[in-house]
Structure 1
Amino acid sequence: MRRRRIRRNKKEKTPFLSKPSSKRRRKVANDDDSLHPTRQQSFTEDVGHAAAETYLITRLAFKLLRYLGLGYKWIVRFFALSCYAVLLMPGFLQVGYYYYTSSQIRRSIVYGDQPRNRLDLYVPLKSDELKPVVAFVTGGAWIIGYKAWGSLLGLQLADRDIIVACIDYRNFPQATISDMVNDASQGISFVCNKISEYGGDPNRIYIMGQSAGAHIASCAIIDQAIKECGEGESTSWSVSQIKAYFGLSGGYNLLSLVDHFHERGLYRSIFLSIMEGNESLGRFSPEVVVQDPRFKSAVSLLPPVVLFHGTADYSIPSDSSKNFADALQRVGARAELVLYEGKTHTDLFIQDPLRGGTDDLVKDIISLIHAGDEAALAKDAVVTPRRRLVPEFMVKLARKISPF
């Protein structure tokens, strides 16, 4: 399948993600204790935490069933999701094993005082200098998001000397959208203020979100910019610390998506409960907020925005990213749109990484983060391609039955 790239920064002939200053780099100690002040949790602690989360998720699942009722659409999609997971299980098991055994992953670091205020860190093996950092917010239809969903991305970027912080957050019905945005903002704050203790460069932090996570992360950035323009607002991080925002397959105008989601099984009543009512849809629609004249000064603070989307995405149409990029461009923000021809909602984030080899999305993200860094780009060119985790016929079959 061919990839189609559309740039929205027509006035700029060079990438707007400039080369990081050499002054921002410094050597860090090779001593493991000084680089990672908190050791990897013991197996016993992991089991205990997993059991607690299993109990919480089970309790919330029954609560969610009361909202869903017996609608046939979500039942059909749940069955399709189960079949999809079974087909890709060989890959998921391998990634899961690595997730629980790799010394590269610092699991369940606490960043706040609310349930699920935890994040996973994917750290490169070599710690010779401070690394760029991606703070990643996973998707999951605002209902089934979980930090481990970012494992495939985290492992690939860690192989390219990039630290990834996968931020967990409370899902519905445990929380609603304002809680999710607050959780994501707290996780970003932790990364901005603490990442140097784990070998990350506080001057090279990128925020990324996928699907619902892209929506939540974009809301968090815009909300932070608005706070910084207000009087007397107390903030623990600043949008000026963020080099760029990467949005993957996100929805940024809820007013135009509510009917689409309803037809696909995320019923209007549930969606409005997640979004705190019909009157809040505009407030939590980044595309709408950036065009509000009241927030003009806040928009000027936003970092460069790069939106990635597959043209065959039927969960969230690619027009969602296109319209958001256009809106940002109209109000003077820096924005770029990258479209992948024929790619679905799950191709870019799940199927392609499980195939191994060259991953167009990861390749594009790395080229943006390492832009202008000749040494890093040269190292990227000789990295051994990742091996295939699932046979191709199973990947293709899973793609056909994917409910997303």
Structure 2
Amino acid sequence: MRPLSGAEADALLARSDSAGGRRRRSSPVQSASPQPPGLGAGPRRQSSFRDDVGHAASETYLVTRLTFRLLQYLGLGYRWMSQLLALTIYAILLMPGFLQVGYYYFFSSQVRRSIVYGDQPRNRLDLYIPKYISRPCPVVAFVTGGAWIIGYKAWGALLGRRLAERGIIVACIDYRNFPQGTIGDMVSDASQGISYVCNNIASYRGDPNQIYLMGQSAGAHISACALMEQAVKESRGEPVSWSVTQIKAYFGLSGGYNIHSLVDHFHERGLSRSIFLSIMEGEESLSHYSPEMVVKESSSQAIALLPLIVLMHGTEDYSIPSSSSQSFADILQQTGAQAKLLLYEGKTHTDIFLQDPLRGGRDPLVEDIFSIIHVDDEITQEKIAVSPTPRRLVFEWQLQLARRISPF
């Protein structure tokens, strides 16, 4: 297998952007600055259900097409074929739960799909609104994972549903994947999505003084990069469209924060070194897109701007080892930042984010997020403690088998 040449990469990105441009012109346009709605409602949908399904289908087609195009460069060897087979079986086992979440995503009046936040084809986000709103709600701006290649905003539907059931608005931010874009584009998209949330969430009955940033897997890395980039800009007095001080806490779930130390790990896991370096814009950019390295090199003024950083990781995560979060937490604490590490004993990369919430009952991740968001609100904590628990969506034997087969 050979690395992508500059000409090949440019041509690939140009074709992807061209396809995205055609799709953008044919999709329904929504206002980037919605008018204030009535209480608890949020802006009304500006497109029909048919339009929303069509947009979701076109985005899914884009992700699939880009993935298979990338596989052409990787080469369809034994490793990738076995991984693809494992992923297919994994998805089939969890399909009963995925179908129920999909029904919620497309039919629930609490979901606002594909709100435009920028002028790129993937600059859209989904909002998950609590059913009953008596006062402005806390907000979680969430950046999904997907190995920087197959991320999509709908991957956050299960988390959005679980948090919305507990009175928290969730904004799932979409962004360009490789080869449609490289890491700089992804960070830029995420930052623009965060800016939209910070400046517009009050229109959806969100509390602009209670905004939390969260990312999962590759999304944890991208959102951490966006957070650090913003802190550095603000410390230098550069103009910004949103402020780090607007973020009350950052939740990093199963993320990697020192890209230098993960290149070989990902290569052994099947993401070749040449492809990964193409995603990260070359070896010379690894330090710039390693939040751990950026923290080490940042001024005390930039560090002082950072919110509480909560790093969450399963101890049996083989996709991204939990030592990644441990190391980042240590560096943050050494530089004087507020950092907290939560390790989930025996949990894998997908246990925390998929299997556990599909199991129903009290979800450890959701409970931990909730306890931090409402740390000073005992009344809300008491209400949630006695509220009905989410029901199981998938049988236990399916969850256990899926856990064994998971390629992640």
| Shared fold, TM over 0.5 | yes
Structure 1: distance between partners of 2:90 and 2:135: 41
Of the three residues 61, 75, 84, the one matched with 2:67 is: 61
Q: Deviations over 1:5-35 (max 9, x none)?
A: xxxxxxxxxxxxxxxxxxxxxxxx9936x84
Structure 2: distance between partners of 1:200 and 1:181: 24
Structure 2: distance between partners of 1:364 and 1:40: 35
Structure 1: distance between partners of 2:242 and 2:131: 28
* 1:291 alignment partner, SS class: helix
Q: Which structure is richer in relative contact order (CA contacts within 8 A, separation 6 or more)?
A: 1
Q: Is 2:295 the counterpart of 1:325?
A: no
Shift of 1:335: 0.3
- Shift of the 339–58 alpha-carbon distance from structure 1 to 2, 3 Å rule, reads closer
* 1:290 alignment partner, SS class: helix
Q: TM-score, normalised by structure 2?
A: 0.89
Q: TM-score, normalised by structure 1?
A: 0.90
Shift of 1:126: 1.0
Q: Is 2:199 the counterpart of 1:193?
A: yes
Corresponding residue number in structure 1 for 2:9:
none
Corresponding residue number in structure 1 for 2:38:
31
Of the three residues 150, 154, 157, the one matched with 2:160 is: 154
Corresponding residue number in structure 2 for 1:174:
180
Q: Deviations over 1:69-90 (max 9, x none)?
A: 2233222211111110010001
Of the three residues 222, 239, 247, the one matched with 1:234 is: 239
Of the three residues 255, 262, 265, the one matched with 1:260 is: 265
Structure 2: distance between partners of 1:66 and 1:296: 46
Q: Is 2:374 the counterpart of 1:377?
A: no
Corresponding residue number in structure 2 for 1:347:
351
Corresponding residue number in structure 1 for 2:370:
366
- Shift of the 30–215 alpha-carbon distance from structure 1 to 2, 3 Å rule, reads closer
Structure 2: distance between partners of 1:213 and 1:40: 28
Contact map agreement 1:211 1:249 (CA 8 A) in 2: yes
Shift of 1:59: 3.6
Structure 2 residue runs of 5 or longer lacking an equivalent are 1-35
Corresponding residue number in structure 2 for 1:26:
none
Contact map agreement 1:134 1:208 (CA 8 A) in 2: yes
Displaced runs of 4 or more, over 6 A = none
Number of aligned pairs?
Answer: 373
Of the three residues 112, 117, 132, the one matched with 2:138 is: 132
Contact map agreement 1:208 1:214 (CA 8 A) in 2: yes
Contact map agreement 1:214 1:250 (CA 8 A) in 2: yes
Corresponding residue number in structure 1 for 2:314:
310
* 1:314 alignment partner, SS class: coil
Identity %: 69
RMSD: 1.5
Equivalent positions of 1:242-281 (< 5 A) are: 242-281=247-286
Corresponding residue number in structure 1 for 2:96:
90
Corresponding residue number in structure 2 for 1:224:
230
Contact map agreement 1:355 1:390 (CA 8 A) in 2: yes
